[in-house]
């Protein structure tokens, strides 16, 4: 399968370096210098992954991430000089799947990209294909969620988190295990990733996100999906 990547960054040198590195790794690569340009390009082409800088003129990077996530199932990796935890959490809340702080090493970026594309392609093949709870139906094979009969959009990573928990129903799963399974071993300590995704998932599947019935926190351990 030929994967197509869109690089969105206003720095022309970074666009050139990333295009060269990704092309050498045998990806199809397009580049955009602004959020507005990237949105126009995505109207005409399907991308499997988007590399997105936050600090660009025009459309705010976080808002662009939200817009891309609302209209595309592409993996989104933010690449930014802004490396404080709050920015990382805000980026994940906006719909990003991963976050890399500049400056970064090219081999690390390529490893993150390979992991994201590999998991996105294969993560739904094993385990349950469909899960039902009171008023909720999750079809993992079709990547479809309905709540009280109404379709609700989930991001690819949100589906992966739910799918991994559904593979171990009613069992507390440690944070590190979920992080390693969904994002890879290099992310096993990044609990802020998991908190951000669980927060968003509860907004989508729970009637009372602050008092969840299904996506349960196990203090000092991790999370479980309550099906019974």
pLDDT at 89 (0 to 100): 86
Domain 130-225 falls under CATH 1.10.10.10:
yes
Domain residue ranges in the chain: 4-122, 130-225
Contact 139, 126 (CB under 8 A): no
pLDDT at 65 (0 to 100): 92
pLDDT at 123 (0 to 100): 54
The class that CATH gives domain 4-122 is alpha beta
pLDDT at 127 (0 to 100): 64
Evaluate whether 4-122 and 130-225 have a shared fold: no
pLDDT below 70 — which residues of the chain?
1, 119-127, 228
pTM: 0.81
């Amino acid at each position: 399968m030929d994967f197509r990547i869109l690089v969105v960054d206003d720095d022309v040198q970074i666009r050139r370096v990333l295009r060269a590195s990704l092309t050498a790794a045998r990806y199809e690569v397009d580049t955009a210098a602004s959020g507005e340009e990237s949105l126009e390009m995505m109207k005409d082409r399907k991308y499997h992954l988007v590399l997105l800088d936050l600090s660009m003129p025009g459309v705010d990077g976080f808002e662009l991430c939200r817009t891309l996530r609302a209209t595309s199932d592409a993996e989104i990796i933010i690449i930014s000089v802004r490396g404080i935890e709050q920015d990382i959490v805000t980026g994940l809340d906006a719909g990003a799947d991963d976050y890399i702080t500049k400056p970064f090493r090219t081999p690390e970026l390529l490893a993150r990209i390979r992991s994201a594309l590999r998991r996105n392609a294969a993560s739904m093949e094993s385990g349950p294909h469909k899960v039902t709870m009171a008023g909720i139906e999750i079809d993992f094979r079709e990547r479809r969620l309905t709540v009280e009969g109404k379709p609700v959009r989930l991001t690819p990573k949100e589906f992966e988190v739910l799918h991994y928990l559904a593979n171990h129903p009613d069992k507390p799963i440690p944070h590190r295990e979920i992080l390693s399974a969904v994002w890879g071993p290099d992310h096993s300590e990044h609990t802020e990733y998991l908190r951000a995704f669980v927060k968003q998932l509860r907004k989508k599947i729970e009637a009372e996100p602050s008092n969840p019935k299904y996506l349960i926190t196990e203090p000092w351990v991790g999370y479980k999906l309550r099906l019974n």
